Amino acid sequence: MPAIRSAGPHLMNTISLETLWTPASEDRPSVYELSLRNGASEALVDFALGFSGPAAGIDPHAEIDGGTLRSRLSNWSLIAPPDGYVLPPGGTWRVAIRSLTHPLRHWSDGARGAYLAFADGRMLPIVTTPPNVVGEDGALLTGAARFLLPEAPPVELSIIPWPNHLAVDGARATPSGLSLKPMSTEEQRVVAAFTEMVRELFPDEGLVHPTDNGGMPVTFSSKPLGPEAYEIAFNPTGAIVSAASQAGHLYGLVTLGQILRGALQHPGKLVVPASGTIADSPALAWRGAHLDVARQFYSSGEISRLLKLLAWNKMNRFHWHLSDDEAWRVEIDAYPALTSVGAWRGHGLPLPPFLGSGPSRAGGYYSKAEIREIVALGQTLGIEIVPEIDIPGHCYAALEALPELRDPGETHGGESVQGFLDNCLNPAHEPVYRFIETVVDELLELFPSRIFHLGADEVPLSAWSGSPKALELLERLAGKEAADRHRALADSITSHEFADQIGGSGTAILQAQFIGRVHRYIASKGATTGGWEEAAHGDILDRRTSYLVGWRDIEISAALAGEGHDIVVSPGQRYYLDMANGPGWSEPGAGWAGWSGPEETYRFEPRDGWSEMQLQHLLGVQTCIWSEPMADRAIFDRLVFPRISAVAETGWTAPGNKSWKRFAALCGLMPIMYGHWA
Summarize as ranges the residues that interact with ligand TNX (CB under 6 A).
457-458, 532, 551, 576, 578, 590, 626, 628
CB 29 to ligand TNX: min, Å: 26
Contact between 130 and 632 (Cβ < 8 Å)? no
> At CB < 8 A and 24+ separation, what contacts does 398-401 make?
398/323, 398/328, 398/338, 398/342, 398/425, 399/423, 399/425, 400/341, 400/342, 400/350, 400/351, 401/328, 401/335, 401/337, 401/338, 401/339, 401/340, 401/341, 401/342, 401/350
Q: 3-class SS at 56?
A: coil
CB 363 to ligand TNX: min, Å: 17
CB 597 to ligand TNX: min, Å: 17
Nearer to ligand TNX, 187 or 578 (CB): 578
Omega cis (within 30) before 163: no
CB 605 to ligand TNX: min, Å: 21
Beta strands in 120-267 (DSSP E): 123-125, 127-128, 132-133, 166-169, 177-181, 215-222, 230-234, 239-243
Nearer to ligand TNX, 33 or 457 (CB): 457
Name the residue number minimizing CB distance to ligand TNX: 457
Nearer to ligand TNX, 295 or 314 (CB): 295
Nearer to ligand TNX, 359 or 550 (CB): 550
Nearer to ligand TNX, 262 or 455 (CB): 455
List phi, psi (to 5°) of 431: -55, -25
Q: 3-class SS at 373?
A: helix
Nearer to ligand TNX, 231 or 628 (CB): 628
Q: 3-class SS at 663?
A: helix
CB 603 to ligand TNX: min, Å: 21
Q: What are the C-alpha distances in Å from 339 to residues 234, 289, 402, 505?
A: 52, 25, 11, 34
Question: Residue 578 CB: number of other CB atoms within 10 A?
Answer: 25
How far is it, in rounded angstroms, from Cα 279 to Cα 243?
A: 10
Compute the radius of gyration of the chain from its Cα atoms. Answer: 27
CB 401 to ligand TNX: min, Å: 19
Report the amino acid identity of residue 458: E
**Sign of the CA dihedral 31, 37, 43, 49?**
negative
CB 325 to ligand TNX: min, Å: 8
CB 337 to ligand TNX: min, Å: 23
Nearer to ligand TNX, 168 or 577 (CB): 577
CB 419 to ligand TNX: min, Å: 12
Nearer to ligand TNX, 117 or 548 (CB): 548
Nearer to ligand TNX, 400 or 578 (CB): 578
How far is it, in rounded angstroms, from Cα 270 to Cα 456?
A: 47
